[in-house]
Amino acid sequence: MGYKIISKTLLCPNQYELQVEAPFVTRNAKAGQFIIFRVEEEGERVPLTIADVDRENGILTVVFMAVGYTTKKLAELNVGDSILDLVGPLGKPTEIKNYGTVVCVAGGYGAAPCYLISKAFKEAGNKVYMIMGARNKDLIFWQDKMKKASTELFITTDDGSLGIKGFGTQVLGELMEKEKIDYVIAVGPMPMMRAVAELTRGKGIKTEASMNPIMIDGTGMCGACRLTVGGEVKFACVDGPDFDAHKIDFDEVINRSKVYKEQEKRRDENCNLLKSGEK
């Protein structure tokens, strides 16, 4: 039983690509949607954005960072092993249409879901700029795939070890000065997505952010992924994950995320103590 892993690749430190047999998921999966998985019976439910799909062979691709207890457990699985359960596709897909000129801004592991998004926009007839940003060259992956999925690829690193030294917002700002940008989507860390929103706000450019707040059930019942958009409460799992970036209350989302991360850190420490036999 479960979902068999057919390929496992270490993309960069602590970041993996898994290909999993999941024909019922890939049949209807679209750019921007996500899945929720469990590694073990008593394990937590963790969301991952769909990075790629092979409908013909029923193969789902996900990319994740092994940073918490559950993702580290996932990283321990190998080819031939199975993920206990997996549900999806969840969430609303990114609205794909011909805007004209589109910019996808991807930060860190946010590059993975941007592949399908960029590819879909390009196939819809858009001119697509892809901006991939990371702290250093060791955290950049899928360069060849991103080049094929976009009209032009820009890479930025904080330390200048690859591509342009600086942040993705710098490149976005330069593109906005050179030509008319019709649509921007940001995927990655909250501070980066907020910075993109502030940059495009004054120009009136339609901008969306793919939100990844705390999620548990993926159906809107638990309310953990709630956020405020335009003064209204929304749930990222059913109303998103894409929202108008100019209307998101980023401060609220970031503050809630900090509380959760602190709780998650304490829980992981307790799990490690139990695992090592200490009390």
Counts for the chain of helices (H) and strands (E), in that order: 8, 16
User: Could you report the per-residue pLDDT of 27-84, keeping only the tens digit for each?
Assistant: 999 999 999 998 988 878 888 899 999 999 999 999 998 888 888 999 999 999 999 9
Q: By C-alpha distance, which of 20, 25, 123, 127 is closest to 74?
A: 20
Q: How confident is the model at residue 183, as a pLDDT? A: 97
So what's the architecture of 3-90 in CATH?
Beta Barrel (2.40)
Q: How far is residue 144's CA from residue 141's CA, in Å, rounded to a whole number?
A: 9
What tokens does 216 get? 């548990």
* 206 phi/psi in degrees, rounded to 5: -60, 120
What tokens does 225 get? 């992924």
Q: How confident is the model at residue 256, as a pLDDT? A: 76
Query: At the top level of CATH, which class does the domain 101-256 belong to?
Result: alpha beta
Residues 6+ apart with CB under 8 A from 268: 68, 69
Contact assessment for residue 19 and residue 99, using Cβ atoms and an 8 Å cutoff = no
pTM: 0.86
Q: Map tokens 């209807």 to a residue.
A: 28
Count of other CB atoms within 10 angstroms of residue 80: 9
What tokens does 13 get? 């430190």
Q: How confident is the model at residue 269, as a pLDDT? A: 55
Contact assessment for residue 105 and residue 196, using Cβ atoms and an 8 Å cutoff = yes
Q: How far is residue 265's CA from residue 272's CA, in Å, rounded to a whole number?
A: 11
Reported residue count of the chain is 279
Q: How confident is the model at residue 43, as a pLDDT? A: 79
User: Could you report the per-residue pLDDT of 85-136, keeping only the tens digit for each?
Assistant: 899 899 999 999 999 999 999 988 778 889 999 999 999 999 999 999 999 9
**Domain residue limits, the chain:** 3-90, 101-256
Q: How far is residue 42's CA from residue 37's CA, in Å, rounded to a whole number?
A: 12
Three state DSSP letters for 73-126:
HHHHCCCCCEECEEEEEECCCCCCCCCCEEEEEEEHHHHHHHHHHHHHHHHCCC
Q: Provide the residue type at 112 as one letter.
A: A
Q: Please, which pLDDT band fits residue 274 given cuts at 50, 70 and 90?
A: low
CA dist list (Å): 221 to 32, 39, 87, 90: 21, 22, 15, 14
